[in-house]
Amino acid sequence: MAWPGAAEEDRAVAWSAGDLFTVPAAARCVHASDSGAELPRLGRRDGGGATPPPEASTSEGASSGASGGAAILYWVHDAPLLSYLGVAPVCSRFEPALYERARLEAEVERVRHEPGAAHRNRLGILLSCKAGWAERTKTLTPTLWALLNVLPGRTVQPPHKHNSVAIDLAVQAPEGGGAYTLMSPKLGPDGELVDPVRMEWRSGAAFVTPPGWWHSHHNETDEEAWVLPVQDAGLHTHMQTLDITFAARSAPEA
Q: Find, among 18, 21, 63, the residue nearest to 44 by Cα.
A: 18
Q: Is the Cβ–Cβ distance between 163 and 236 less than 8 Å?
A: yes
- Residue 2 inside a domain? The answer is no
pLDDT of residue 1: 62
Maximum CA extent, the chain: 60
Q: Find, among 71, 74, 78, the residue nearest to 55 by Cα.
A: 78
pLDDT in tens, the chain (254 residues): 655 554 445 678 889 999 999 999 877 788 888 765 544 443 333 333 333 333 344 567 777 665 456 788 999 999 999 999 999 988 889 988 999 999 999 999 999 999 999 899 999 999 999 888 888 999 999 999 999 999 999 999 999 999 999 999 999 999 999 999 999 999 999 999 999 999 999 999 999 999 999 999 999 999 999 999 999 999 999 999 999 999 986 444 44
- Residue 14 inside a domain? The answer is no
- Domain holding 185, by residue range, is 101-246
- Residue 229 inside a domain? The answer is yes
> What letter does residue 251 receive in the DSSP assignment?
B
User: What's the gap between Cα 231 and its chain centre?
Assistant: 8
The H or E element spanning position 147 is strand 145-151
pLDDT of residue 48: 35
- Residue 164 inside a domain? The answer is yes
H-state helical runs in 55-94: 79-85
Number of domains in the chain: 1
> What letter does residue 104 receive in the DSSP assignment?
H
Give me the CATH number covering residue 129.
2.60.120.10
CA dist., res. 86 & res. 33, Å (int): 34
pLDDT of residue 115: 96
- Residue 54 inside a domain? The answer is no
Q: Is the Cβ–Cβ distance between 181 and 218 less than 8 Å?
A: yes
CA distances from 75 to 107, 221, 238 (A): 22, 29, 23
Distant-in-sequence, close-in-space partners of 110: CB < 8 Å, separation ≥ 6:
none
- Residue 214 inside a domain? The answer is yes
pLDDT of residue 70: 75
- Residue 197 inside a domain? The answer is yes
Provide the 3-class DSSP secondary structure of residue 81. Answer: helix
pLDDT of residue 2: 57
- Residue 159 inside a domain? The answer is yes
pLDDT of residue 3: 55
* Residue 88 burial by Cβ neighbours in a 10 Å radius (0-12, 13-18, 19+): exposed
**Phi then psi dihedrals of residue 88, to 5 deg:** -135, 145
